[in-house]
Amino acid sequence: MTASERLDATFAALADPTRRAILSRLARGHASVAELAEPFAMSQPAISKHLKVLEHAGLISTAQDAQRRPRRIEGVRLGEATAWLEKYRQFWERRYSVLDDLLDELQTKPSKPKRKSR
């Protein structure tokens, strides 16, 4: 999978509020499908579909713990998305800084007197 495809998968997975809530829960620690399904008014198969999307995007992984298969959050893909966003944050920060400088300059310039019209 290319870097662009990984970003596409990450942002597509993050676009859904249920998947973001699942990631928030997993940020507190490993959880089973049943535990992840608890707060949602949806079936375990529906939650499993969300988990597959998150797993495909590389945002979560599945561990083996005896009979359980707990999910855990993975930070690498989130780090890649954060790095991509950071470049654009820095770009806009520089642009706003230039705009701030221009506005400061315009405010400190003495204004020219207006000509009276006859």
CATH of the domain at 57: 1.10.10.10
Question: Does residue 84 sit within a domain?
Answer: no
Where is average pLDDT lowest: 39-43, 47-51, 62-66, 85-89? Answer: 62-66
Joined together, the tokens standing for residue 14 give: 């993050």
Question: The domain containing residue 58 runs over which residues?
Answer: 3-76
Joined together, the tokens standing for residue 43 give: 């079936």
pLDDT in tens, 70-116: 999 998 999 999 999 999 888 788 888 778 778 888 888 776 666 66
Residue, of 61 and 92, whose pLDDT is higher: 61
Question: Does residue 59 sit within a domain?
Answer: yes
Question: Does residue 82 sit within a domain?
Answer: no
Question: Does residue 81 sit within a domain?
Answer: no
Question: Does residue 115 sit within a domain?
Answer: no
The confidence score (pLDDT) of residue 70 equals 92
Domain count, the chain: 1
Question: Does residue 20 sit within a domain?
Answer: yes
Which residues neighbour 10 within 8 Å (Cβ) at sequence distance 6 or greater? 57, 58, 59, 77, 78, 80, 81
Tell me the mean pLDDT in the region 14-26: 96
Contact criterion met (CB below 8 Å) for 63 and 29: no
The pTM for the full model equals: 0.74
